Structure 1
């Protein structure tokens, strides 16, 4: 069979991920770097991705709804860390998190044991969407900042509160600015990173695997380059 089908059957990623693995020179067959998806392989061949045999590389891609006050460490023995939220099956994995959300905030955090994937996502410089609720129906004043885009103020007369939301690539600045608003009702929440939105059915403190479509959307610009080559 060809290497593309072989990697697919061994669960090495989505079809677009597999093409990118090949184009990035991350796949070897019997120590030779392979970049063509049509290369023929047999079961006796030594196929590796990132230096690991394909039978030992089953990458994980997770999205967390981080609680307030939790650090982004994936060490399961550290209290109040994302690692402490992992189930027994995921604890042995060498996961890393995109370290771009202050512990005072809640919401979407990406983690994976595929370091190259996290590097690729970081390289896209995706903006994040943040929001916070403030008490009352008077629209608060948010200091102007060129780093903030799509700023919205939604008044809820029934619950007597205003939802302030913005998009930015500077997560720390956004959290700091929103926390300083008067009469804030709770922590700042990250709702999205680029095309990935926080799943509405994912409770605070829980996590789930990324869907193949979500993985492809996060690395979309890279995969578009691959498809046009």
Structure 2
């Protein structure tokens, strides 16, 4: 059996993830770094990723819809934290959150026990999409546009209900949250509704989470494919 197939059958990630594990020299066969997926492996070989035996490694990639005021701490015993939301099965993993969303906001938070995945996301610096709901029409976005370096900023005004939904995309998450929170007529907290190519699922209730789908994982780290590709 070749190494790529072995890693796939042992649930070490998508094909792109496995390619990346090899290119990043995170896979060893009998303590020797392996970078080629076609490397032949035998049942008696010791195959590891990040120093952990493949048979005992099942990487977790989670997306949370975090409630207002909750900490990004994933310790199960910490009240009002991401850890307190975990089910009994997921409490066994040493998870780390992409802890860039302040307690004053709600919405999308990513977490994983693959520390390299988390650090890769930090280095890629995806923009965040933030959403706010106002109880009054807002059509003049001049002040908001000048306060934050937006990639995009739109206002959907519903004339009958006299409400506004603001959606902005920016790398300046803190600035966006601050500006939105100061708007008159704000209804509820400001939420992060997307991080880079991954959106908060519409069917994910507040205070719950699910595993990221393979396509979502690949989309998040897609820019690394070019960086890791052989020249």
Shift of 1:225: 3.6
Q: Which runs of 4+ in 1 moved over 6 A?
A: none
Contact preservation (8 Å) 2:148, 2:176: no
Q: Deviations over 1:76-96 (max 9, x none)?
A: 101110110000000121101
Residue in 1 that maps onto 2:150: 148
Residue in 1 that maps onto 2:104: 104
Say whether residues 1:20 and 2:20 are aligned partners.
yes
Alignment match of 2:193 (pick from 186, 191, 194): 191
Shift of 1:4: 0.5
Residue in 2 that maps onto 1:157: 159
Provide the C-alpha distance between the structure 2 equivalents of 1:136 and 1:33, rounded to a whole number of angstroms.
60
Residue in 2 that maps onto 1:84: 84
Residue in 1 that maps onto 2:40: 40
Question: How many residues are aligned here?
Answer: 229
Residue in 1 that maps onto 2:208: 206
Provide the C-alpha distance between the structure 1 equivalents of 2:6 and 2:138, rounded to a whole number of angstroms.
60
What is the DSSP-based 3-state SS (H/G/I as helix, E as strand, rest coil) of the residue aligned with 1:55?
Answer: helix
TM-score under structure 2 normalisation?
0.95
Query: Relative to structure 1, is the Cα distance of residues 68 and 203 closer, same or farther in structure 2, using a 3 angstrom cutoff?
Result: same
What is the DSSP-based 3-state SS (H/G/I as helix, E as strand, rest coil) of the residue aligned with 1:62?
Answer: strand
Say whether residues 1:94 and 2:94 are aligned partners.
yes
Query: Relative to structure 1, is the Cα distance of residues 28 and 159 closer, same or farther in structure 2, using a 3 angstrom cutoff?
Result: same
Where structure 1 has 5 or more consecutive residues not aligned to the other structure, the ranges are none
Provide the C-alpha distance between the structure 2 equivalents of 1:133 and 1:140, rounded to a whole number of angstroms.
15
Residue in 2 that maps onto 1:61: 61
State the superposition RMSD in angstroms: 1.3
Shift of 1:138: 3.9
Contact preservation (8 Å) 1:72, 1:99: yes
Provide the C-alpha distance between the structure 2 equivalents of 1:100 and 1:138, rounded to a whole number of angstroms.
28
Query: Relative to structure 1, is the Cα distance of residues 138 and 192 closer, same or farther in structure 2, using a 3 angstrom cutoff?
Result: closer
Provide the C-alpha distance between the structure 2 equivalents of 1:224 and 1:82, rounded to a whole number of angstroms.
33
Shift of 1:140: 5.7
Shift of 1:159: 2.5
